[in-house]
Amino acid sequence: MLDLLAHPEVDLAHDLTRGYSYKGGHSAPSTIRPTDVFLARYALPDLTWRDLRREADPEVLILKEPREGPESGKRRIEFEDTGRTKKLRRDVERINCFLLKAPIFVLPGPPGGDLDTLGQPMDPLRRTVKRVFNDASWLKNGRLYGAFWINMPKVDRFQRLRLGSAAHPEGEPIVSCDFKQFNVRASYHLANQPVPPGDLYDIEGGGQNREAYKKLTNAMLNAGRRLKNLPRDVQFALPPGTKAKDAIAAVERHHAPIVHHFWTGVGFQLAAIESAILIDCLHALHKENVTALPLHDAILCPRSEASRVCDVMEIVSGLYGEGLRARPSIEECRLSSET
């Protein structure tokens, strides 16, 4: 069919890329672009998102295969329903029920600028989320994906997304409430060790190379085996000539009480704990009619509701263990207040 559409005598589409899919490998979509002939014949005038609707996803729980190689761990696997999966599904459906009715607004963007971080058109009708688990386990990952704001470029999200509140039902600028340094704190919690004071990513002291060590520490928690080389982004962020073994040894010395968690792939388990906390936070906030949106490991909310959202996040995190109790940080874009 694609060949026919792109045939010169038909001239309805330009053939751009051809996708492919095979078991255990990559998959990609085939893409075409309509020609002027197609648009003249079939394009609807003044078509907007209000003319469309999105059908509900048939399943909001996604369980993915174990990771056994670079290209594995991506395919969905079937599962039998249990009491556990039914509860997990109800939790997501409750969130989706709120999101479908929530006062979420998107300001107009520049012409041709409505692309998300995946290069796809931003679909404001995609308001619901799915919960994705990895390694064929309901105890690994569990973060929420799928809603349009999750894949919005960060700058666009702050500048164009508006959420209704009791003070501003027409919508107001957003903030992001985020548990900082969660993975390391959760590792100490799992090890029954007290969380050290101060910045857990400040390995060298004085904030030197802090961002590089943050990425390296999390890579060490996520990796299933010891790294021989530094991740590329870490390598570029550290001073030239830094050896992988020296940087890794510095992290292991700094976090000696949890050194046994490195290279075990515990990162997925830590993400599952964080996702469970955030889902409980969303339920509590939605019950209070606070427009709270999930963003992987953070919650987006109207700026006027930030203090209340942080209160709830601090209380709920403490219910999972005193070592996990923390006051979230608030991030906002100053430019968002100008529009």
pLDDT of residue 78: 94
Residue 126: CB atoms within 10 Å: 16
Poorest-confidence range of 65-74, 202-211, 229-238? 65-74
pLDDT tens digit string along 104-132? 999 988 766 678 887 778 899 999 999 99
pTM of the shown model:
0.85
Poorest-confidence range of 21-35, 94-108, 159-173? 21-35
Closest CA to 175 of 148, 153, 157: 157
pLDDT of residue 26: 56
Q: Say if CB 330 and CB 177 are below 8 A apart.
A: yes
Measured distance CA(171)–CA(174) in Å, rounded: 9
CA-to-CA separations, 240 to 230, 236, 251, in angstroms, rounded: 12, 8, 18
pLDDT tens digit string along 258-284? 999 999 999 999 999 999 999 999 999
Average pLDDT over the chain reads: 91
Q: pLDDT band for 183, please (50, 70, 90 cuts).
A: very high
Q: Say if CB 54 and CB 126 are below 8 A apart.
A: yes
Non-local (6+) Cβ contacts of 167 within 8 A are: 302, 304
Question: Which of the pair, 336 or 218, is modelled with greater confidence?
Answer: 218
Measured distance CA(141)–CA(149) in Å, rounded: 20
Measured distance CA(252)–CA(220) in Å, rounded: 9
Q: pLDDT band for 19, please (50, 70, 90 cuts).
A: confident
